[in-house]
């Protein structure tokens, strides 16, 4: 979903970047679909650093927000294209629930709760809220 043409590559001085990372001045969204900005607090040794991840799919988001002793999820923003295709809107997520599909028991998808209490199903999932059951809270903003 995110692409970076070579012309946007950013060279980092040796020692300032891990060898397995690539840096880009710009990335392109190859699909006009919802995506996420996840703000993490990451522990490295005795210090904590803030990192922001661009996450393209809800299934990847569920993997990213799994609790560990090194990473704390500080915030999640759902980025949605506005109808008409000219802009984007950002929705702050306060809670993430997972729900099993009533018709496909093996399938789990997220439900996002916003600051005003609205619940939004994963826009790319395609299953209406009425077909979901067994909700479980998997993340809550501190």
Q: Around 56, how many Cα atoms within 13 Å sit in the side-chain half-sphere?
A: 9
* Predicted TM-score of the model (pTM): 0.86
Tell me: the pLDDT tens digits for 20-61?
A: 888 999 999 999 989 999 999 999 889 999 999 999 998 899
Contact partners, residue 113, CB within 8 Å, separation at least 6: 93, 94, 95, 96, 97, 119, 120
Report pLDDT digits (tens) over 56-85.
998 899 999 988 889 999 999 999 999 887
Q: Which residues partner with 88 through β-bridges?
A: 81
d(CA 136, CA 97): 5
Q: How do the domains of the chain map onto residue ranges?
A: 1-30, 32-140
- Which residue in 110, 117, 139 sits closest to 34, CA to CA? 110
Q: Give the residue from 128, 33, 103 showing the smallest Cα distance to 119.
A: 128
Task: Report the C-alpha gap between 105 and 118 in whole angstroms.
Answer: 24
Structure tokens at 24: 């880009």
The continuous run of DSSP H or E covering 110 comes out as strand 108-114
């Amino acid at each position: 979903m995110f692409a970076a043409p070579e012309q946007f590559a950013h060279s980092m001085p040796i020692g300032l970047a891990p060898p397995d990372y690539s840096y880009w001045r710009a990335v392109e969204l190859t699909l006009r679909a919802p995506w996420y900005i996840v703000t993490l607090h990451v522990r490295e040794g005795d210090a904590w650093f803030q990192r922001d991840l661009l996450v393209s799919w809800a299934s990847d988001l569920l993997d990213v927000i799994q609790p560990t002793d090194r990473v704390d999820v500080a915030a999640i923003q759902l980025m949605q294209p506005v109808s008409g295709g000219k802009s984007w809107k950002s929705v702050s997520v306060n809670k993430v629930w997972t729900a099993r599909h009533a018709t496909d028991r093996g399938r789990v998808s997220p439900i996002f709760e916003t600051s005003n209490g609205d619940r939004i199903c994963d826009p790319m999932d395609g299953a209406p809220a009425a077909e979901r059951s067994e909700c479980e809270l998997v993340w809550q903003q501190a």
